[in-house]
Amino acid sequence: MKIKSIILMSVISMLFSFKNASAQKVKRTHTFSIERVIPSSAEKVWNVVGNEFADVSKYHAGIVKSELINGSTKSEIGCERVCQLDDKGKKLVREELVEFDEQTMYFKAKVFDGEGVPTVPEYTFAEYEVKPIDEERCKLIITQTYRTKPAFIGGIVKGKFKQYTKEQMIFIEHYVLTGEAVSKENQKEIIGKYQ
């Protein structure tokens, strides 16, 4: 009888351990980083990507309109923005700055809501870092982490996401150097100038 009780308790213990391990399973995400040297001071680049967080539509051809929301008035931790990805307003991404450091020129924006996009908000975020090289050059590093729905397309779209990020860096460089906003109409011409 004692042996049966010990075996039964062991089996029950193993089942609970397995159940807890399954419940704590971490969702798989995809991550990549892209770097670009920009012939401008780090401060100018940081001003565009960090301090003008609301204005991403000026240097991202895939974003039709962007603005701060929910009472946010400036780039700081807790600041929220909405990015409209199409002319009809059916594809939207809402982001929050969860880390923001002007001294190190770094921020992390987490997606907290999305409509009409295949990413899972709670597992999707972007990190931007600007590193000075000298007074006239800096390195911009963008790291993207995401999970898609359905999950299996995450690996399939990674190449496309990387390409969009490389293009966005070109658009950032163009905007910093010229002040000209990027649009669907001029994006190909701009890419041709900077590749």
pLDDT band at 164 (very low <50, low <70, confident <90, very high): very high
Q: Show the domain range for 127.
A: 27-194
Looking at the 3D structure of the chain, how many domains does it have?
1
Write out the two tokens for 116. 């009409």
Query: Is 4 inside any structural domain?
Result: no
SS3 98: strand
Query: Is 3 inside any structural domain?
Result: no
Query: Is 91 inside any structural domain?
Result: yes
Query: Is 81 inside any structural domain?
Result: yes
Query: Is 134 inside any structural domain?
Result: yes
Residue 177 has a pLDDT of 98
Query: Is 119 inside any structural domain?
Result: yes
CATH of the domain at 143: 3.30.530.20
Q: How many CB atoms lie within 10 A of CB 131?
A: 15
SS3 177: helix
Provide the whole-model pTM: 0.84
Write out the two tokens for 162. 């990387």
Q: For the chain, what percent of residues have pLDDT higher than 90?
A: 81
pLDDT, tens digit (0-9, with 9 covering 90-100), for 3-29: 554 444 444 444 444 444 444 567 899
> Residue 106: is its pLDDT beyond 90?
yes
- Name every residue whose Cβ is closer than 8 Å to that of residue 107 and which is 6 or more positions away in sequence: 49, 50, 53, 75, 97, 99, 100, 101, 127, 128
